[in-house]
Amino acid sequence: MEMTTRPTIMEVDVKAFENNIDEIKKFLPENVKIMPVIKANGYGTYINTRLDILNKFDILAIATVDEGQYIRKLGYQKEIFVLNQPYKEEISKIIENDLIVGISSDSFAKALQETGKEIKVHIEIGTGMGRTGINPKRAIEYLESLSSNIKVEGVYTHLSSADSDDEYTRKQLESFEMDVKMIKSKIPLKYVHSHASNAILNFANIGSYNLVRPRTYNVWLSIRC
């Protein structure tokens, strides 16, 4: 049987995207940078193929090492952060493409250590989303277990309910802030981030963060099918 596809076209208004970035900035202190999350082909927008747009940002967030490798091949030379801790088998690609990675497990940290190569990381603190991140009580222990070739540049967490549960989100932020203060007493941090799209709108004045992670699809304004 011959298969056909629907004659559907999706148009993404780039000017609207840029305008919404400007609107997001209004919610943020001047020292806070925007790190757009452009995983899954920019959530289907394919903004990840537009180097002219990507170059407007000093740092990008993606979900997988392969996504980071693709953006490097396009010519993006600034910072790329892999939100999800990668697989050990991907470490060579991480090094080759100069990617920054989120880490939260002892075994992965050990694998990074064994390379002997300098690798930049952000430590993920599990404040209550329940899927990833180290126990907040282990933050300093984990930090001190890392070898000298692992360069900790940031600390981050995921807020699970910033759109629906203010009390729970505040508890997550309080837990995160305690760990951030302890880690800052040990090392300088380039980036602290916890706020995705909903938290930017609802909790803009809480925390010592200096980086936010709006999802690409939340920055659309005009899409036509």
pLDDT digits (tens), the chain, 225 positions? 566 667 777 777 788 888 888 888 888 888 899 999 998 877 777 788 889 999 999 999 999 999 999 999 999 999 999 999 999 999 999 999 999 999 999 999 999 999 999 999 999 999 987 678 999 999 999 999 999 999 999 999 999 888 889 999 999 999 999 999 999 999 999 999 999 988 988 887 767 899 999 976 555 443 333
Give the distance, in angstroms, between the CA of residue 194 and the centroid of all CA atoms in the same chain.
9
- Whether 124 contacts 156, CB under 8 Å: yes
The answer to whether position 84 is within a domain reads: yes
Residue 169: closest CA among 131, 196, 189, 191: 196
The CATH number linked to 210 is: 3.20.20.10
**What are the backbone dihedrals phi and psi of residue 45, each rounded to the nearest 5 degrees, phi first?**
-85, -20
Q: Scanning the structure block, which residue is given the tokens 């020292």?
A: 31
The answer to whether position 6 is within a domain reads: no
**What are the backbone dihedrals phi and psi of residue 81, each rounded to the nearest 5 degrees, phi first?**
-115, 125
The answer to whether position 15 is within a domain reads: yes
The answer to whether position 124 is within a domain reads: yes
Give the distance, in angstroms, between the CA of residue 151 and the centroid of all CA atoms in the same chain.
17
The answer to whether position 4 is within a domain reads: no
The answer to whether position 67 is within a domain reads: yes
The answer to whether position 209 is within a domain reads: yes
Looking at the DSSP bridge assignments, the partners of residue 224 are: 11
Expressed as residue numbers, the domain containing 16 is 11-220
pTM over 0.95, yes/no: no
- E strand segments, 78-216: 79-82, 100-103, 119-124, 150-156, 191-196, 211-213
How many folded domains does the chain comprise?
1
The answer to whether position 80 is within a domain reads: yes
